[in-house]
Amino acid sequence: MNGKEHPGGVTFKNYSKGGTQDPNQSWYSTNIWPVLQAGPNTLTVTLPAGAASPVLVDQVALTPMSVGSYPTK
């Protein structure tokens, strides 16, 4: 966030049925609570050098920490 790495990195939980490792049959989710600055902020998603699998991001939601569920629209 804003040019700084998230402390401890980010981990993803596999929500696929049966725990499949096939990326075409899997979906993963994670959440972090970064400290945002007033005004513009920049979110950058990167993989460590030598990472075995790519990460395909199809949704990002910015919500207050008090939100109880993922927004649908």
- Digit-coded pLDDT (tens) for 2-58: 888 888 777 777 777 766 667 666 667 777 888 888 999 998 888 777 777 777 777
Element (H, E) at 29: strand 28-29
Give the pLDDT score at 41. Answer: 92
Structure confidence at residue 69 as a pLDDT band (50, 70, 90): confident
Structure pTM? 0.56
56 to 24, 29, 70: CA distances (angstroms)? 11, 11, 18
Classify each residue of 41-65 as buried b or exposed e, where b means 16 or more C-beta atoms within 10 Å of its C-beta.
eeeeeeeeeeeeeeeeeeeeeeeee
Give the pLDDT score at 23. Answer: 64
